[in-house]
Amino acid sequence: MEQIKLSKYRWVVLIALMMITMMSQVQWLAHAPIARAADVYYKGRFNPASFFNVDFLASSYMIIYLIVCIPASYFIDTYGIVKGVGFGAILMVIGAAFKGLSGNSFSMVLTGQVFFATAQPFVINASTAVAARWFPVKERAIATGLATLAQYIGIMAAMIITPMLIVSSSSDPAYGSGIGRMLKIYGIITIAASVIGLLLLKERPENPPSYEPWVRINFSQGLKHIFRLRDMWSMIILFTIGLGIFNAVSSMVDSIASYMGVDDSDGMIGGLMLIGGIIGAIIIPILSDLYKKRKLFLVICICGMIPGLAGIAFAPFLTGGYGVNPHAAYTVALISSFMLGFFVMSAGPIGFQYAAEVSAPAPESTSQGLLLWVGQVSGMFMVTGMSINNKSYLPAFLISFVVLSFIALAFVLMLKESALIKAELKKNQ
């Protein structure tokens, strides 16, 4: 077989997508780690009992994703990566202008957030399509992992840097000030990343990166094909649980810290989860490509996710009881969140790539968009349940996440290895 010449520009395209992706996620959770401080800052500018409160800024991404996800995947599959991601980048520039120029107005921030939430599926649904069009099979988990890594870096930046840019100590009279400046800084960076990334994007290389024994089908045919596959139903359940839990924990980090007895909005539970996820998203996809295994590493990730969730859910009780030793409970939660991030967030890119392989010849962004969609649905319901009645049900939800993780393990054990990976392994033997 003729040797395929790979385009070096594939890494430039991937970096361009990563830049846009990263800032999309920064804007998603800019208020999540400082929710209590933001309540003080915007006091009198919104009704805290209303659905449109500070927590809605994070959950809006999940709500709007439910509406836009499938049309975004269709748009990417039909019109291509450049037009799909480009449209998302333009929406991000508009959203950054609203939030950056009017950060003191809650209504303007909310409007900007709607633009960002609409843009998100046009950006993140494209990662497996970029991997398939620009990268060979042996590099696709790594490419998808790096694209997903950009999401985690963006989330981590929001979790760790945001509290540093405002007055986050509840004992300070200026508690909450600096949010307008923070949004302006994020807005400038977002506009720069979106414009530069859009200029660097290209549709596909001159030569395909791999020979594939099928002809791709269109979006509607792809959906029908996906719903006929048992392994894809298992993946749908897996992402409903795993991605839903990740979205819920990411959106409620400040409330979880409050549950541990921490007074200040420091964002460290989310930050350490993201640090663990970044490390995992680098290591695990590389190992998956190296050993040409998808199912094995998905099983490892779900097994590792269980003790991480258990540590967060039971931290107050593992340290003498609720409210007895909040410092020790918080320490347990921080260690557990790192472990949770390492395993659950590294499962994401492998799961997306596995789904793209087993659902071929369905378009890659169709399978990825579907998995992201179910995770947003479950995450939205989880966040809503954890938020109602002054967050009184939050501990029960954290415990239920542990139970759900065992159900996820049962479904991941039923998966069959990707046929494309088996063929790649056989070819290299």
Please report the DSSP string for 301-352 in residue order: HHHHHHHHHHHHHHHHHHTTSTTT-HHHHHHHHHHHHHHHHHHHHHHHHHHH
290 contacts 145 by C-beta, under 8 angstroms: no
Asked if pLDDT for residue 46 goes beyond 80, the answer is no
pLDDT value of position 3: 61
Q: Which two tokens stand for residue 212?
A: 């594939």
Q: What is the pLDDT of residues 317-367, one digit of tens each?
A: 776 656 567 778 888 888 998 999 999 888 988 999 899 889 988 888 889
Supply the mean pLDDT for the chain.
Answer: 86
Structural domains of the chain in order of their starting residue, each with its CATH number:
10-206+217-427 (1.20.1250.20)
pLDDT at site 252: 80
Band of pLDDT at residue 274, cut at 50, 70 and 90: confident
CA 374 – CA 46 distance, rounded (Å): 30
Q: Which of 139, 107, 116, 140 is nearest to 29 (CA)?
A: 116
**pLDDT attached to residue 1:** 43
Q: Who wins on pLDDT, 386 or 254? A: 386
For the chain, the distance separating the N- and C-terminal CA atoms, rounded to the nearest angstrom, is 15
pLDDT at position 112: 95
Q: Which of 194, 372, 342, 325 is nearest to 281 (CA)?
A: 342
Residue 299 has pLDDT above 60, yes or no: yes
Res. 427: pLDDT tops 80: no
CA torsion, ordered 251, 248, 329, 34, to nearest 10 deg: 10
For residue 164, with 0-12 CB atoms within 10 Å meaning exposed, 13-18 middle and 19 or more buried, which class applies? exposed
Q: Which residue has the tokens 């843009």?
A: 119
Res 118 pLDDT > 90: yes
Q: What is the mean pLDDT of residues 240-253?
A: 86
Under a CB-based contact definition with an 8 Å cutoff, are residues 280 and 343 in contact?
A: yes
Number of H helices, E strands in the chain: 17, 0
Q: What is the pLDDT of residue 421?
A: 77
Answer yes or no: are the C-beta atoms of 357 and 420 closer than 8 Å. Answer: yes
Cβ atoms 288, 141 nearer than 8 A = yes
Average pLDDT estimate for 103-130: 92
DSSP string, 127-158: HHHHHHHHS-HHHHHHHHHHHHHHHHHHHHHH
Neighbour tally for 111: CB within 10 Å = 15
Question: Looking at per-residue confidence, does 240 or 209 come out higher?
Answer: 240
* Lowest mean pLDDT segment, chosen from 15-19, 74-78, 213-217, 413-417: 213-217
Across 101-105, 107-111, 320-324, least confident range: 320-324
166 pLDDT above the threshold of 50: yes
d(CA 64, CA 70): 11
- Residue 120 in contact with residue 96, Cβ under 8 Å? no
Q: What is the pLDDT of residue 21?
A: 96
For the chain, the residue count is: 429
**What's the angle, vertex CA 201, arms to CA 126 and CA 156, rounded to 5?**
60
Q: State yes or no: pLDDT of 412 exceeds 90.
A: yes
Q: What is the DSSP string of 160-192?
A: HHHHHHS---TTSTTTTTTHHHHHHHHHHHHHH
Q: By percentage, how much of the chain surpasses pLDDT 90? A: 42
